[in-house]
Structure 1
Amino acid sequence: MSNDSNMKPCALLFGEAGPIFAATPSLGLCTKVEVRVGTATPPCANPYFGFTLTFPRDPGQVTSEKEGRGVCYAYDPSSDKPVPSDFTITVKFPRASISCSHLPVPAVIQNRFPKVEDWQGFTYLIVRLDDSSHPTIEGYRKEYFNSPDPKLQGWVNYHGKINGVSFLEVLHQRAFSFIVELPIASYRESMGDQNLPGLFTYGYPCQPADVQEMKALVDKKRGRAFPPCYAFDNDNAHITAINQSVIQDTLWVHREAELIAEERLLAYFVTPIRVISEGHAVHLVVPVSKAWRDLHDLAWLRLTADNPLIKVKIHDISTPRHTGPALWTGKIIGSNNSAPELRTHPIQDHELIVRVRAASIPRILIRHYPNRRTADKALAQGTQN
């Protein structure tokens, strides 16, 4: 799920030998814009061959903050946190619609890098777009704030020119020329789009309609969770992520609810001795263990968030002519409830109190426990009702 990147330091030229607009510091030039070229397999996105341009913001983004522009952050997959970020534009070359030339760096270009001494470790790369193909450019036309450097800000935002060339003209080239810090032999083996893995897929239909098929898919795919994603390559990936986040979250809670519903938990009523008539409400104490609450806690918080009405099955009832469980309706109430009949029944935070309303059939004669100690003793002995 990590961002498997093979982006190499380089310099970007305009044309095959024109002005140098971006370079990494290792090439010894003092350009304001850094560039890297290569392949990348970002999480939850298609692998690509392309390059990134990174524009610095004002130091610490202090000026941007004072001007009311705020501070820009970007999601960092390695730390799973937003971090202050520079301005980045990513250019992805169209897959299987390019041709690449890997050549020694011409002498006329070498002369423009006076600090580079050994050119054996460099490649002159030209990436040509096929007819009618176009790169995918991510980040272009997002507002770039850097008022301490108005020339660079104007070049990015307002079609200004540097060395007689606008930023849009750089991006509109049909052939991109790079000086790459990588030997030619290594570049031929590791760069280009010929060795890219297949296109990314979540492995789920974007809008599933069959519930059983969806359950089977979820059961089959027991891998790690997908990391957060804030951009998508296409509408299907976007719709799939939105739908599956709801479907799988709901399915998980539903299955937890089914497991809880199948459990038979010990409980006792807090009420005077009498036959409970239809519609009468009484308190039911369910002394679940802390381990039980911890096991179901994540789902439990979801299931009880709106304090819904619940169905309570009362098993093993001692009522003539009725063998099945009684089914009553109730609501979970707080463990600190101040009802008078609960004062002698101290309840721990992980235990449950349910206020249930008796159904018409069957009519149940229930036992009275004057205090918690008596009730716990009866539960330990398996006393019914």
Structure 2
Amino acid sequence: MCRLNVYLKEGTHVTVKGYGNPFDHPDHPSDGWINYNQPVAGNMTLIDVIEQRIFSFVVAAPDRVLERYWSQELPGPFRYPFGEDHSWSLERYEEQLHVLKYRGPQFAAALTFNNDNEHLAAMTQSQVQDVMWLCREVQQVADTKLRTYFVNVEENSLINLIDEFYAIVPLKDDFIHRFREIWPQLIKNEFLQIKLFDSDEKPASWDAKIIEHPRDLAIMSHHQIRDNDLVLRVRRPRPESQRGADFEVHVFENRAIANAALNRWNTVSLKFDDQLKECKRKVDAVCMFHPRAKPSAAEAAAEAPQDIRFKMALHRALLRGNGFYDLLVRDQPYDRAPRRLPIVNYLDIDEGFITALLLEVLPEDRTRFYSYMSRRPLGLGCIAAGPGFGKTTVISVAAIGMAATLGKIYAFAPTHVATDTFSERLSRVTKTVTDQYNKRNSTRRRRALIVRGYKFRDEYDAFIGILRNSHSGTTATNWRADSN
């Protein structure tokens, strides 16, 4: 055995990964050391030990082993080769991807980051590098002209609000081979635009939607749809849109007539979403976590108040994933105790409503559920259990309690089905809890309003469906809320 002394160089310091993570062990002295900076021995606290400049270790190895391994020069800290400017710039991305050749799986997956710059680099580049190659392929697809013929859409509605057609686009083998890698990615989004060409004039631009199973359409029985046929439903734009509303398309009743008049087919190209707009939105969102970024609130002053800056620093530290040591300890004055993570009480409401909420939780879980929801570090929580253990109900109870404490709550789920289930459960829980409260208390509460949102296009289609058939009611959309 031997003793190893470690001396920190000037300008270096110790950091503790994971410092600040919740620790709750009130029956053990370590709870005071970690949570309340109480002395470990004499007047020395755990922070005093960590902040030393000299450390001594007793090592179960001879000195020659230590000399062999501790005398090696360690590599410098890892840095991504993308500089320090991570704002949106297509020109810079092109240079990085083509001139500097930063392509391919060069870097190991990282869940934590040592500083904000590495975090911003990883988060922005993970978005950009997924989209830049897609953008180039989308442009090449758009530059490829294809022959197409159109079919009238059969409508049962008495009111035909918009001229619509089916477009049948036979894809040649060379087109399929050229874009075989990108094609599955492109058609994930069923909406696109088609450009319609006529001599040298500016092409018309019509909205289109991919028909996933065209053979299921009765009208397609006359058109012998082949495996390489792309079938679209297209909509003639409104005249005021200046997108070629008066463009003449050639419509055929069946495939045989269309094949006999190949010279009358229209020429089109396919303009898929290059996802640049969405990518820019994500990059801009990531850059909001730059240390010099201003608060997102519109009313924020030029210089953010100290408490706001502290909250923003907490958010950045949380996303870096290495703990909060620098923020809670090193950034504090020497004579001041370390700060603690803010605690949020999500059940800061009257006792009567808490009682009504807890009736929805299993009896054996009520005490710990209340304790958990009333003391959440940074306002974060995680509820996990196997299937059938009541997770959806418990999360719904938590959301209703949070809404009563904080106001409007935005909730989401990983799939459409899960979102539907969550919405329905929220509707049921708020009704039951409110009824229980109103039975037991003289003051009355109203149920929370649960709004299940859809994409704009889905909302639009439902609205058009109601206009076309005023008796469709809730069948105009796929989700039916609790009518109560």
Q: What is the TM-score of this pair, normalised by structure 2?
A: 0.41
Higher helix share: 2
After TM superposition, the score normalised by the length of structure 1 is 0.50
Which structure shows the bigger proportion of residues in strand conformation? Answer: 1
